[in-house]
Amino acid sequence: MNPMQRSLFVAISSHGYGHIAQVGPVLARLAQVMPDLSIVIQCGAKRAQLESMLLFPFQLIEHADDFGMLMHNALDIDVEGSHRAYLDFHRDFPARIEAARERIQSVKPDLVLSDVPYVVNVAARQLGIPVINLSSLEWADIYPSYCGHMPGASQVIEQMVDAYNQAECFLAPEPSMPMPSIEKVIPIGPIARIGTNRGDEIRKTLQLDPAVKLVLFSHGGVGFRLDPRYWTRKEGIHVLMEKRHCPTCPGATAIETLPYSYIDLMCSSDAFIIKPGYGSFAESACNGIPVIYTRRPDWPEEPSLVQWINEKANCLELSREHLEKGQFLGSLHALWSQARKPKVEPAGIAQAVDILAQYF
């Protein structure tokens, strides 16, 4: 690395795709305004997945310092498994910090940005490098909501809270969950990628009638298997989904087979069927895509997300039972009959970049 070149170390959670989608637009804008900036990303996701979402040069350290909460599927938390994993992670927390120090020191960054692993906060502070958190959630308030009553949880929570509060500040993009454990929260506007509508191209590629409506089904990078008996071909509708969700579903196309980015597939769709998640909600609202969502039981971030999407975007709730049985046609037609709301401006991108740039 050129000794005069500025560098940024970015730690990204591997808990689904939402954290990558959330920090990506900020990094892309920062790379534009600081073209000499070297960006090094630490994440458990594979390079191919990151490159499909992060359209700028970066170096990769393929390592996960953050697993969030373990999931049975996209809607159900593995509470017992998560607690065991956190006890194991914190069993020798100083060793975790030392390993993070070595990874950060190998980069010699001017700044550390985290969305939203916390061990890097302590490591960066020990190295005298400023660290900023950027996320709509944090594990110091999510983990206790599920596991706070379990044996050994109190020490885990104490170390989490202390680690997060080592940061210079915590940038919380709209809509973020309440963060009572965090001392230096700075609210900013929404963050979202903006895509291109390629619906006509997709219909031609799939040899669909121009009047057929495209519906994207996604659950944020976490598996949710659907029964193909219920997700059969539906009149006037064609579903786009990951192959693992419904590998033998007639009337659907696996998005992996299409030569378009995920954000362009979303922008090409007439509706988006999702679980509440920051990336899905913010991107649908900022791109003007109507949403049908199915709630996740007890997820602490969910109330803030659901309130926001109902205020800002065209949306309807679908029960889990109706989702699993593919009973969504009535909801789709009700959704399309709504008066369209204006797109939301992703103002948080520029706000975050202005704050980060001050540290170089």
Rounded CA separation 344/191 (Å): 10
Q: If you average pLDDT over residues 51-74, what whole number do you get? A: 90
State the average pLDDT for the chain. Answer: 92
Q: What is the pLDDT of residues 159-169, one digit of tens each?
A: 999 999 999 99
Rounded CA separation 263/52 (Å): 10
Residue 273: CB atoms within 10 Å: 22
Identity of the amino acid at 168: E
Q: What is the pLDDT of residue 351?
A: 98
Confidence bin at 222 (pLDDT 50/70/90): low
Q: What is the pLDDT of residue 2?
A: 55
Rounded CA separation 293/195 (Å): 21
Q: What is the pLDDT of residue 231?
A: 72
Q: Is 193 helix (H, G, I), strand (E, B) or coil?
A: coil
Q: Is 300 exposed, middle or buried (0-12, 13-18, 19+ CB in 10 A)?
A: middle
What's CA 93's distance to the chain center, in Å?
Answer: 26
Q: What is the pLDDT of residues 272-293, one digit of tens each?
A: 999 899 999 999 999 999 999 9
* Sheet strand arrangement including 237-241: 252-254, 237-241, 213-217, 271-274, 291-293, 315-317
Please state whether the peptide bond connecting residue 175 to the residue before it is cis, i.e. omega within 30 degrees of 0.
yes
Read off the pTM. Answer: 0.93
What are the structural domains, with CATH classification, of the chain? 7-191+348-357 (3.40.50.2000), 199-336 (3.40.50.2000)
Note whether 116 and 19 are within 8 A (CB).
Answer: yes
Confidence bin at 298 (pLDDT 50/70/90): confident
